[in-house]
Structure 1
């Protein structure tokens, strides 16, 4: 029973907190986002919440898989730091991009996010190939999102 609660918490924290903060950050932003010039490869708006819910779920499962080893060591501390950093950066980005219209700063922050996720994935790989594999879609999406953020910023500099 304890493992089910750990799994639920590992998934629930990123999904629930990400959903709440994402909703707050993007409140009243839909109209403005629709009016922005966007690159041709920009997806429809509904793709973002579906994608982020999926990614938050898989990153939570990945963290759970890594944590199942129950080792308190340097690697565990590094993972906890990298994972916490990536979550914090993930939660900050929609505020920068949508709420505060700081798209250039959001791009720089997203680059840091990509780096934190990549480092975290590297650490996961040291103990759990499954945890590492679960992070690959996240890195792929962030790579795409970086390009999307950059092009949107460039198209709307004025």
Structure 2
């Protein structure tokens, strides 16, 4: 299969754009509200989140590209695209719910839904392209950790 640079760049740009939108929701609260929360001992330092999420968004974009180039071979491609965009929307929504609205309990429920959809997305991608599915493993692990962290923030606050 021939490499398609524009599709590759667009796939990554879409996910990084979602991350940037989430960053806007997060930016102010990271300086004002978030430092005031009681946090568990395993809470990562704030500087870690941006590089982790940037790396994850790039992996997610690469996975989307690998699936997109095989779209003509996929009978359920529209459903796959729908699940992909649902997980991106849920990903973005968490930042707004947690950091903008300061609704930790709602954010906990939302991130559990996100985790379920991310796993579903990974399985769907894996069935189309093994590497696309495997590229979701770090994302699944991070959202699992973020879910546990959100749970602890909810309990502590």
TM range, normalised to the smaller chain? over 0.9
In structure 2, stretches of 5+ residues that fail to align are none
Partner of 2:27: 27
The 5-angstrom pairing of residues 36-115 of structure 1 reads 36-71=37-72, 73-115=74-116
Q: 1:75 & 1:50 partners in 2: Cα distance?
A: 33
Do 2:74 and 2:128's aligned partners in 1 also have CA atoms closer than 8 Å? no
How many residues were matched structurally? Answer: 155
Q: Aligned equivalents of 1:125 and 1:106: distance in 2?
A: 28
Paired residues of 2:18 and 2:88 also in contact (CA < 8 A): no
TM-score (norm 1): 0.93
Runs of 4+ in 1 over 2 A off after TM superposition: 72-75
- Asked if 1 retains the 8 angstrom alpha-carbon contact of 2:119 and 2:140, the reply is yes
Residue 146 of structure 2 corresponds to residue 145 of structure 1: yes
In the alignment, the residues of structure 2 paired with residue 72 and residue 102 of structure 1 have an alpha-carbon distance, to the nearest angstrom, of 42
Kept in 2: contact 1:96–1:102 (CA 8 A): yes
Q: Is the 8 A contact 1:10 1:61 kept in 2?
A: yes
RMSD of aligned C-alpha atoms?
1.5
Scaled by the length of structure 2, the TM-score of the pair is 0.93
- Establish whether residue 6 from structure 1 lines up as the match of residue 7 from structure 2: yes
Tell me if the contact between 1:75 and 1:123 (Cα under 8 Å) persists in the aligned partners.
Answer: no
The gaps in structure 1 that reach 5 residues or longer are none
Q: Give the 3 Å change call, closer, same or farther, for CA 2–129 of structure 1 in structure 2.
A: closer
TM-superposed CA distance for 1:27, in Å, is 3.1
Secondary structure of the equivalent of 2:102? coil
Q: Distance in 2 between matches of 1:70 and 1:124?
A: 11
- The answer for the alignment partner of 1:135 in structure 2 is 136
